[in-house]
Amino acid sequence: MLTVHVVVCLIALLAGAVVLAALCSGRRQPIRDAVLLLSTALISLTGFPLASPPGTPAPDPARILGVIELVIVAIAVLALRVGHLASAWRGIYVVAMVLAVYFNVFVAVVQAFLKIGFLHALAPTGKEPPFLIAQLVTLALFVLIGVTALRRYRGHPVSGIAGARA
């Protein structure tokens, strides 16, 4: 199960980079958007059965984040399928997509500091300045990406079957 989870995470990170680049260029790529949303949902669903590390407080932060990500995916799907990306739904969609990728990258940074030796040595508890700086830089980058995507992606309302290809 762990191998599947890691592969899905890598797919989501790659899809996220492509999707955000498209949104920042004022475009949408529906197939890649779908891959991002599906893989992000699968990250949570394949992560829930994994054992928590010893000493993890209850409720488990990873599972809380998993639930948050599922809600974000649901909001993006609502914006697409119910709101048809019209009016405020376009902005909701862009914010949801940026948040989905941000949370995936947030977890990747956490995992990097846990699993990569030289990073772990810099921040063994995850409360040291190098870890905090890495997460702040990540957050700042995603705020910039989000603002850029909101400004540039004007989109077109999606309707019916033709909207699935828009």
Helices (H), 48-159: 61-81, 88-115, 117-122, 129-152
Q: How far apart are CA 36 and CA 30, in angstroms?
A: 10
Residue 120: HSE in the Cβ half-sphere, 13 Å Cα cutoff: 6
**For residue 59, is the peptide bond before it cis, meaning its omega torsion is within 30 degrees of 0?**
yes
Residue 76: its H or E element: helix 61-81
Q: What is the DSSP letter of 165?
A: T
Copy the structure tokens of residue 109.
């940074």
Phi, psi of 76 (to 5 degrees): -60, -40
Instruction: For residue 116, report the phi and psi dihedrals to the nearest 5 degrees.
Output: -95, 120
pLDDT of residue 154: 86
What confidence score (pLDDT) does residue 58 get? 81
The DSSP letter of residue 86 is -
Taking the chain (166 residues) in runs of 10, the rounded mean pLDDT of each run is 94 98 95 97 94 82 95 98 94 98 97 96 96 98 98 73 44
Which pLDDT does position 162 carry in this prediction?
A: 43
Alpha carbon distance 15, 119 (integer Å): 25
Q: What is the pLDDT of residue 166?
A: 44
